[in-house]
Amino acid sequence: MKSYYIKRFVSMLVTLWVIITITFFLMHFTPGSPFNDERTTNEAIQKNLEEQYHLDKPLIVQYGMYLKQIATFDFGISIKKSSQTVNEMIGRGFPVSFELGMVALVVAVISGITLGVIASLKHNGVIDYIAMTIAVIGISIPNFVLATMLIQQFAVNWKILPTATWSSWKHMILPTIALATSPTAIIARLTRTSMLEVLTQDYIKTAKAKGLSPFKIIVKHALRNALLPVVTLLGALAASILTGTFVIEKIFAIPGMGKYFVDSINNRDYPVIMGTTIFYSTILIIMLFLVDLAYGILDPRIKLQKKEG
Amino acid sequence: MGLPQETLYEKKEDIALDEWFVPIEKKKGEAEAVVRPSLSYWQEAWRNLGKNKLALGALIFLILLIIMAIIGPILSPHSISEQKLINQNQPPSSEYWFGTDSLGRDVFSRTWYGARISLFVGIAAAVIDFLIGVAYGGLSGYKGGRVDHILMRIVEVLYGLPYLLIVILMSVVMGPGLGSIIIALSITGWVGMARIVRGQVLQIKNYEFILASKTFGAKTYRIIRKNLLPNTMGPIIVQMTLTVPSAIFAEAFLSFLGLGIQAPLTSWGVMADEGLSAILTGHWWRLFFPTLFISLTMFAFNVLGDGLQDALDPKLRGGK
């Protein structure tokens, strides 16, 4: 068992290294330089600037320096906004994005599981069809489309909620719905399928025969087993929510990390692109790892299988 | 159950059996005929899909969409880039069926042109995923052992890469445009397909008909092409159908962020991005038509994928 987690940990580090390397070299082969705009006129200034950011050294040397630098969690200084370090930008933007993402994830998990369980209990009934139709629609409408529709109805037509920015709980409602809908739909479908499967198992019949209340059977016996596939999906869902925050932050003008990321790409601001990409990827990879750990803990049967293989 | 055997027997004896049961005329050779026409795997799958009204509707919608993507821009008298500044932000009318945008361009012909781009991106991504994924997964699963181990470690690392982040980075590097979006989508997209194909091949390669084929001296290439692939086609097709909407979404997502398709080309994502400001001024049609068709198309592909999953699953054959 331990060796499995060590293996997983090593592959996690390799993935991270691959990401750092890919991002680093991709960025430097990208046409266009951060000093290409109209403000930097003088050739001497340009040279000095390149020296300051080590852009004059061979790529391999830059790569080595960068690896050393990020080993100490220092992502460098933004080229476009030279008064700010990338760490400061992440420090400012990430809490907002994290708040948005976490709220959306929690909402998605709770409402998705509830919908899925209800649909599975009323299998092939009207409620089941309604829930699953909502789920397919939820998957099919892109989050940015949903966000604009929500703004149009709730903020422009009915004027009951604010259109944009991020200050009170009222501002959080629309972005959260826009971000949480498609994960909710995915969780609901998965929960329904696996609940339907679990409900036919013998131990459910046993529980019924023992005379347990339906609530206890569903929550203690069925749901616990049915949720295992949902847990495996959490990593991927977190990823989709995270990238979802880019557009949602753009639409609702939320001052999160996604804004810095998109701006930095348009500005060719190497340190910011690299810093944010690596930061995002690290979070995602750690999430996937944690999900794997949680899976092993939740389902004792997994351990045996992994030991053999 | 029901009636006891004896009473049944007695009753039968009362009636002259010949009156009740007339032997049908036999023609030579017909005795061997099977009553139910034997259906191949694909015929049966097609029949099962036909029973799923929603999936069939989705298929018809998609066929209509493809037709409109081809002829739609020609139907309108206005080309996609024709600008008439007097006709800015016209609501839908007999002249402009879907209205015009802020530059006086015809939303109708732009919507169908966008359909071309979106469908092209989706289908191209699915086909590339198919080619790489099947070759890679097939090799990995069939060879097994060391080869499988190494190939799967690579897949594991690639699987950990955040999909949209890589797509964004790639489209930055290669410059925005149609080609770079498709390449960016395929770079990590094939991994899912490779995993599915590998799993299927691992399972099937131990079946007896493969052994039989080997005993007859079939070469590896022939076994993969004739025995393994046809039997893994079901999950592969489902995966391809579900790749299309996610590729369409990714293209729209990138274009919406300004990293995708560039003018004079247009796509649904670009139109949604341009139409975003229009909802505040009440020009709803500029946002409504592109987003309606993005959603409908993704919906149709998802429903069709679900339907195919049921229709192609051998465990469910003949059921439902």
> In chain A, what residues touch B253 (CB-CB under 8 Å)?
142, 144, 243, 247
pLDDT at residue number A166? 75
Chain A residue nearest residue B257, CA to CA: A247
CB A199 within 8 A of CB A268: no
Least CB–CB distance from B303: residue in A136, A242, A250: A136
Q: Is B50's Cβ below 8 Å from some Cβ in A?
A: no
Least CB–CB distance from B257: residue in A246, A280, A285: A246
pLDDT at residue number A304? 44
Q: Is B258's Cβ below 8 Å from some Cβ in A?
A: yes
Q: Is the peptide bond before B264 cis (omega within 30 degrees of 0)?
A: yes
Least CB–CB distance from A137: residue in B257, B276, B299: B299
Interface test with A, best of B61, B150, B157, B248 (most A CBs within 10 A): B157
Query: Per residue in A200-229, pLDDT tens?
Result: 888 888 888 988 888 888 888 888 888 888
pLDDT at residue number B27? 67
Read off the pTM.
0.76
- 3-class DSSP state of A71: helix
pLDDT at residue number B304? 87
Question: CA of A216, closest CA in chain B: separation in Å?
Answer: 32
Least CB–CB distance from B291: residue in A12, A145, A284: A145
pLDDT at residue number A148? 83
Question: What stretches of A164-269 show up as alpha helix (H) in DSSP?
Answer: 169-199, 202-209, 214-216, 224-226, 228-252, 257-267
Question: CA of A137, closest CA in chain B: separation in Å?
Answer: 6
Contact (CB<8Å) B294/A288: no
In DSSP terms, A85 is beta-bridged to A77
> In chain B, what residues touch A12 (CB-CB under 8 Å)?
160
Q: How many Å is the maximal CA-CA distance in chain B?
A: 94
**Model confidence band, residue A109 (pLDDT cutoffs 50, 70, 90):** very high
Contact (CB<8Å) B258/A266: yes
Contact (CB<8Å) B157/A250: no
Q: Is B303's Cβ below 8 Å from some Cβ in A?
A: yes
Interface of A with B (CB under 8 A): 11-12, 14-15, 18-19, 22-23, 26-27, 29-31, 136-137, 139-142, 144-145, 148-149, 151-152, 156, 163, 239-240, 242-243, 246-247, 250-251, 262, 265-266, 273, 277, 280-281, 284-285, 288
pLDDT at residue number B108? 82
Contact (CB<8Å) B291/A148: yes
Of A95, A34, A3, A66, give the one whose Cα is nearest residue A274.
A66
d(CA B49, CA B276): 38
Q: The tokens of B67 are what?
A: 């037709």
d(CA A278, CA A19): 7
DSSP category for residue B52: -
Q: How many CB atoms lie within 10 A of CB B87?
A: 19
* pLDDT surpassing 80 at residue A14: yes
Q: Which residue has the tokens 């001296």?
A: B217
pLDDT at residue number A32? 59
Chain A residue nearest residue B290, CA to CA: A145
Least CB–CB distance from B249: residue in A11, A137, A142: A142
Of A238, A248, A246, give the one whose Cα is nearest residue A147.
A248
pLDDT at residue number A112? 92
The answer, yes or no, to whether ipTM is higher than 0.85 is no
Average pLDDT across chain A, whole number:
80
Question: CA of A258, closest CA in chain B: separation in Å?
Answer: 11
pLDDT at residue number A1? 60
Contact (CB<8Å) B157/A18: yes
pLDDT at residue number A35? 60
> In chain B, what residues touch A148 (CB-CB under 8 Å)?
272, 275-276, 279, 287, 291
Q: How many CA atoms lie within 13 A of A22 on its CB side?
A: 23
Q: Which residues of chain B have pLDDT under 50?
A: 1-8, 316-320
Query: Per residue in B118-163, pLDDT tens?
Result: 889 999 999 999 999 988 988 888 888 888 888 888 887 777 677 7
pLDDT at residue number B14? 56
- 3-class DSSP state of B207: coil
Contact (CB<8Å) A265/B280: no
**Which amino acid makes up residue A33?**
S
Least CB–CB distance from B302: residue in A23, A140, A285: A140
**Model confidence band, residue A110 (pLDDT cutoffs 50, 70, 90):** very high
Chain B residue nearest residue A148, CA to CA: B276
Contact (CB<8Å) B302/A139: yes
Q: Is B115's Cβ below 8 Å from some Cβ in A?
A: no
Of A3, A12, A164, A143, give the one whose Cα is nearest residue B250.
A143
* pLDDT surpassing 90 at residue A137: no
**Which amino acid makes up residue B133?**
G
Question: CA of B131, closest CA in chain A: separation in Å?
Answer: 24
Least CB–CB distance from B295: residue in A12, A22, A145: A145
Least CB–CB distance from B257: residue in A137, A163, A247: A247
* pLDDT surpassing 90 at residue A74: no
Least CB–CB distance from B165: residue in A136, A250, A277: A277
CB A114 within 8 A of CB A171: no
* pLDDT surpassing 70 at residue A196: yes
pLDDT at residue number B318? 42
Query: Per residue in A16-66, pLDDT tens?
Result: 888 888 878 877 776 656 565 555 556 777 677 667 666 677 778 888 888
B181-193 residues labelled b (16+ CB within 10 A) or e (exposed)? bbbbbbbbbbbbb
In DSSP terms, B106 is beta-bridged to B100
pLDDT at residue number A113? 92
Q: DSSP letters of A245-288?
A: HHHHHHHHT--SHHHHHHHHHHHT-HHHHHHHHHHHHHHHHHHH
pLDDT at residue number A309? 36
Q: How many CB pairs under 8 A join A and B?
A: 106
Please state the length of chain A: 309
